[in-house]
C-alpha cells in the first residue's frame, strides 16, 4: 500500500531556511514510494518538486500586526489543512516542532479526531525536556504522537531522561544536506565585492540568528589573539538578534578594540543573499554553548566551507576533529583562538578538511536516505505494521 503523508507546517520560509528542510524531506519521501501533501504559508514559494502536492492554506499568517487576526488565520489554516489532507486520504500527519504550545497541541488533537496517525520531528529538544519541569503541553504532545523523530543520539538521550517510556516511539533520523537547494559560487571575490570586504582578507563567518546560547561573545573574545598572528583576518557577523541585545556585543567589540576587524550585517539575511555570505567566507565558526541540531552547520558543509565548532555532543556526532572540521573546548575563548590560528596556519590541511566535510555531507546526508529512514519510522506505527 502506498503511503500518503501530510506535512503540516505553518512556519515554512518565515525567518529561516526551515523550508529547505521541508522540501528535502518531501523529496526524500517521494523517492521512497510515498505521496506527499505539504501545507504551509503564502511566504513559502512553491518549490515545483515533481509530484509534490503543495498548498498555502496558512496564507499570510506572519504578515499581520494584529495578533488576534494572526491567530484566526492560523486556526483557519489548520482546519483547512487537516480537513483537506484527510479528504485526500492522508493517514499520517507530520509536524515539525520548535517548541510546545497549545497551538501545536490543537493541530495534533485535530489529527487524532480525524483518526490520523501523528508523526513529529522535534528540532529544539530544550523546550520539550526542560530539566526543571515538562509542560502539560509537552506531555500531551508526546502522549498523542505515534512516532517521534529526533536528529541525533544526544537529543534522544535528552528526551528520554525525563520520559523513559517514550524510547520505543523515537527514531534517530539526521538532518539532511542543502545541496538540492543551493548554488555553490566558486568566485569568492565576487561575493566579497558585494559585501564590501577587502580582497585578500581571511574571513571568519558567524551566521544566523544571534542568541546568547550561540556564543558570539566567545568568538569576539578569541579574536584578539587571532589578530596578533593574522592581522589580515575579518570576522563577518551576519544575522538578526533573537531575544538578545546586540549592544552588548558592540560594547565588547569596543572594549577589545577590534571594530576594524569586524564586518557587521546585523539584520535578517534574505534567502537570495545567503550564498554571498558563505561564498565570501574562508571558515565558518560555530562557538555555541548548547545546540541539539544546527542548520548552520549543515548549510556550511553544503557550501563546502570548513567549520570550527565547540565540543558539544551533537556537533561531535557529525564532525571529526582535524578531518571533517575543527573542534575547540566549549566556552573557552583561548582554545578557540588556538584552533582558529591552527586552521589559518596550515592552509593545505584547511583545504583537505573542507573537502572531507563536503564529501561527508554529500554522501551520508542525502534526502533519499533520510526519506527511507522516515518511511521506516512511519511503518513502526502499529496501524501500518498490521497492513
Distance between CA 194 and CA 206 in Å, rounded? Answer: 18
Please report the pLDDT score of residue 375 as a whole number.
96
Of residues 165 and 203, more confidence is placed in 203
Q: Mean of the pLDDT values across residues 237-261?
A: 94
Which of 18-27, 105-114, 117-126, 206-215 bottoms out in mean pLDDT, i.e. has the lowest? 117-126
pLDDT digits 0-9 by tens, 291-320: 888 899 999 999 999 999 999 999 999 999
pLDDT digits 0-9 by tens, 188-206: 999 999 999 998 999 999 9
Distance between CA 109 and CA 115 in Å, rounded? Answer: 10
**Residue 132 scores a pLDDT above 80:** no
pTM above 0.85, yes or no: yes
In whole numbers, what is the pLDDT of the chain averaged over residues? 92
Max Cα–Cα distance, the chain, nearest Å? 67
Which of 24-38, 83-97, 186-200, 204-218 bottoms out in mean pLDDT, i.e. has the lowest? 186-200
Identify the structural domains of the chain with CATH numbers, from first to last: 3-176+366-385 (3.40.50.2000), 180-364 (3.40.50.2000)
Contact 163, 142 (CB under 8 A): yes
Query: How far, in Å, are 157, 176, 196, 238 from residue 274 at the CA level?
Result: 33, 18, 15, 9
Amino acid at each position: 500500500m502506498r503511503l500518503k503523508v501530510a506535512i503540516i507546517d505553518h512556519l515554512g520560509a518565515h525567518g529561516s531556511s526551515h523550508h529547505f528542510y521541508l522540501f528535502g524531506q518531501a523529496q526524500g519521501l517521494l523517492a521512497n514510494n510515498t505521496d506527499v501533501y505539504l501545507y504551509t504559508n503564502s511566504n513559502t514559494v512553491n518549490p515545483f518538486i515533481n509530484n509534490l502536492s503543495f498548498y498555502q492554506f496558512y496564507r499570510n499568517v506572519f504578515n499581520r500586526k494584529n495578533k488576534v487576526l494572526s491567530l484566526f488565520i492560523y486556526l483557519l489554516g489548520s482546519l483547512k489543512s487537516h480537513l483537506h489532507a484527510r479528504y485526500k486520504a492522508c493517514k499520517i500527519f507530520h509536524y515539525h516542532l520548535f517548541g510546545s504550545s497549545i497551538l501545536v497541541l490543537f493541530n495534533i488533537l485535530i489529527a487524532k479526531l480525524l483518526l490520523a496517525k501523528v508523526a513529529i520531528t522535534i528540532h529544539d529538544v530544550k523546550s520539550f525536556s526542560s530539566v526543571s519541569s515538562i509542560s502539560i503541553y509537552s506531555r500531551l504532545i508526546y502522549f498523542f504522537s505515534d512516532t517521534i523523530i529526533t536528529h541525533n543520539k544526544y537529543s534522544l538521550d535528552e528526551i528520554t531522561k525525563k520520559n523513559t517510556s517514550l524510547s520505543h516511539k523515537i527514531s534517530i533520523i539526521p538532518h539532511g544536506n542543502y545541496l538540492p537547494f543551493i548554488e555553490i559560487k566558486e568566485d569568492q571575490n565576487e561575493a566579497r565585492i558585494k559585501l564590501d570586504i577587502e580582497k585578500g582578507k581571511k574571513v571568519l563567518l558567524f551566521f544566523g540568528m544571534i542568541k546568547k546560547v550561540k556564543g558570539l561573545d566567545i568568538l569576539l573574545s578569541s579574536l584578539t589573539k587571532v589578530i596578533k598572528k593574522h592581522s589580515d583576518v575579518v570576522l563577518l557577523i551576519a544575522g538578526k538578534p533573537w531575544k538578545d541585545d546586540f549592544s552588548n556585543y558592540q560594547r565588547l567589540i569596543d572594549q577589545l578594540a577590534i571594530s576594524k576587524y569586524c564586518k557587521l550585517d546585523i539584520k535578517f539575511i534574505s534567502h537570495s543573499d545567503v550564498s554571498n555570505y558563505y561564498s565570501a567566507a574562508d571558515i565558518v565558526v560555530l562557538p555555541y554553548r548548547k545546540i541539539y541540531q544546527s542548520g548552520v552547520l549543515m548549510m556550511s558543509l553544503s557550501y563546502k566551507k570548513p567549520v570550527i565548532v565547540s565540543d558539544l555532543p551533537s556537533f561531535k556526532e557529525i564532525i571529526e576533529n582535524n578531518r571533517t572540521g575543527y573542534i575547540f573546548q566549549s566556552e573557552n575563548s583561548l582554545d578557540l583562538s588556538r584552533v582558529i590560528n591552527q586552521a589559518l596556519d596550515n592552509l593545505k590541511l584547511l583545504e583537505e578538511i573542507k573537502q572531507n566535510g563536503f564529501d561527508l555531507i554529500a554522501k551520508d546526508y542525502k534526502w533519499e536516505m533520510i526519506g527511507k529512514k522516515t518511511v521506516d519510522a512511519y511503518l513502526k506505527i502499529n496501524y501500518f505494521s498490521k497492513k
